[in-house]
């Protein structure tokens, strides 16, 4: 699967969001959690990658099975629509 710069930028943005799960990224872009981690490692500065990994490692909101809030939602109900989000354009 080849990703263009807009898709890569959106994946990075989604990976940084606390409430966007890796499952949502996989649903939208077809990338597994390991592939997202590899993409982040390749696209970010080493220090930024380490900060991101420390932030998401073990975070319940990044894993669909560990979430305790409204199942099935990929974003907070108060979050504004994002222009490059493929799902919002359906």
Question: What pLDDT tens digit does each residue of the chain (90 aa) get?
Answer: 688 899 999 999 999 988 888 888 999 999 999 999 999 999 999 999 999 998 888 776 666 655 555 555 555 665 555 566 555 555
Rg over CA atoms, the chain:
13
Give domain limits for the chain: 1-62
pLDDT at residue 56 in the model: 85
Query: pLDDT at position 3, please?
Result: 86
List Cβ<8 Å contacts ≥24 apart for 44-47: 44/12
- In this prediction, residue 73 carries a pLDDT of 54
Query: Which pTM does this prediction carry?
Result: 0.66
């Amino acid at each position: 699967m080849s990703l263009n710069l807009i898709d890569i930028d959106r994946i990075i943005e989604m990976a940084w969001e606390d409430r966007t799960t890796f499952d949502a990224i996989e649903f939208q872009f077809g990338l597994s959690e390991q592939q997202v981690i590899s993409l982040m490692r390749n696209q970010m500065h080493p220090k930024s990658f380490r900060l991101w990994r420390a932030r998401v490692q073990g975070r319940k909101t990044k894993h669909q099975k560990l979430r305790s809030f409204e199942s099935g939602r990929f974003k907070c109900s108060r979050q504004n629509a994002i222009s490059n989000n493929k799902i919002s354009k359906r």
